[in-house]
Structure 1
């Protein structure tokens, strides 16, 4: 488990928005420490202005073994030719270390169907690769997928799927749709707080934006949560399913639930870090609990 097209990402990786705002020197220091600690995979989204493929290239240049996965590069942020050129360079410069995670991303676009848009984008990427006469390193891609049809597309046209803000039950459903072989990487938010009232309050702050947008509300409804569970900041059940909180042992046990449900890999997103502070102390604790050779592995 943890592999994708011959890559060993490990069962757990780091997923963070934090690098959107940190200076390059701090990012470099952090990702190098994570690599030396035994982490094999680092996931970065594209939301705060840092361009996804440049971001990935910088992190790859800072490390020697770390796999960097775009989770995700949005298809609306660059045309297929730019994506192909950048990802081809990363595959050549850093063999077997970059995974291009592609997703529809952002707000819904009136009149645009995500499945059709993604299919068209993949058609362009495939045509560019087929017409490229130069020798090339293996380029790996996964798709952000939640619904059955996008998961099927991920199965047919990529190495697998990357899911975000789903529960363990959805992981089992996704594995059934993907079948046994394609990669399934799951993002999961965690919070190191054992007081239920404090933990749920902080978790609701994290979930607020997701519970207020129509397409996310529709996603939560399809996952089986009633309207009253989504309203008002989310029910305790919903909050506990989407943010694993507690001490490090409790969090680690819950994270293993995704593996048991069929995930190959879990990208762990630590929330609740004060602005301007680093999540590194929490990443160290997670490493002690989750990485091979640790008591919790």
Structure 2
């Protein structure tokens, strides 16, 4: 499980915003400890200031075996030729350890995500460069939610990366991707056994995603009603999107994505204050998930 073109990521990995708030020295110390614990995949976003490909390059330079996956590098952050060049260099410098996850990112008025992604991939694939070809190929996946983008990820990339979805979506995505394409699923978890406290924290985490057009469209496609996605989200919605409780409960729910067809699950621990580290929870999850 967890293979992209023969590159073994393991079934579970770490997905985190935490490094956006940490100095480079602490980032290095943290990812080296995760590598020692046995984690094989580390997912990073591009949203709060860290540039996706320099961020990935730094983390790769700090480790020997860890796979670093951009989840995602936004296509609006750089022209396609520069993304291609950066991905090529990382593939050459760190063979079979970097995955270039591409995504639409923030909505752009008047721009269709599918059209924009196709044009971006066309530009990448048309690049001619004097840069030497790496011995191991560049690996890319696409952020995908709707059927057409998932099909594009199947046809033009190694597979798909999905963020903030339920287990039913994982099963639907696997059906579209077929048996051979990679499916990486992010899921948020919260170590809080009290239902009231857990849902309060989860709603704060989900708030930005309930106020963006494309996320709302995604949730409606998943079958959530207007009542589910207004007022901070219904209990059903919150419980589907954030797995909360004790370690055993969280681990059992994460495995549901694997049973539904995910090759790999990137686990995002929430409830961590900016500047603090989720390392105590990553240690617990590592002991439970990496056996």
Give CA deviations for 1:242-276 in whole Å, capped at 9, x if unaligned: 00001111000000000000000000000001232
Matched with 1:30 is: 30
1:60 aligns with 2:54: no
The gaps in structure 2 that reach 5 residues or longer are none
Matched with 1:51 is: 51
- Name the Cα RMSD after superposition: 1.0
Matched with 2:91 is: 91
TM-score normalized with structure 1 length? 0.96
Matched with 1:270 is: 269
| Contact 2:159-2:181 within 8 A present in 1 as well | yes
1:213 Cα deviation after fit: 1.8
Matched residues in 2 for 1:8 and 1:273: separation?
29
Matched residues in 2 for 1:49 and 1:266: separation?
24
User: Number of paired residues?
Assistant: 290
TM-score normalized with structure 2 length? 0.98
What SS class does the counterpart of residue 153 from structure 2 fall into? helix
The gaps in structure 1 that reach 5 residues or longer are 293-297
Matched residues in 1 for 2:221 and 2:204: separation?
22
What SS class does the counterpart of residue 99 from structure 1 fall into? strand
Matched residues in 2 for 1:30 and 1:110: separation?
39
Give CA deviations for 1:158-214 in whole Å, capped at 9, x if unaligned: 000000000000000000000000000000000000001110010001001111222
Matched with 1:219 is: 218
**After the TM superposition, which residues 233-252 of structure 1 pair with which residues of structure 2 at under 5 Å, given as runs?**
233-252=232-251
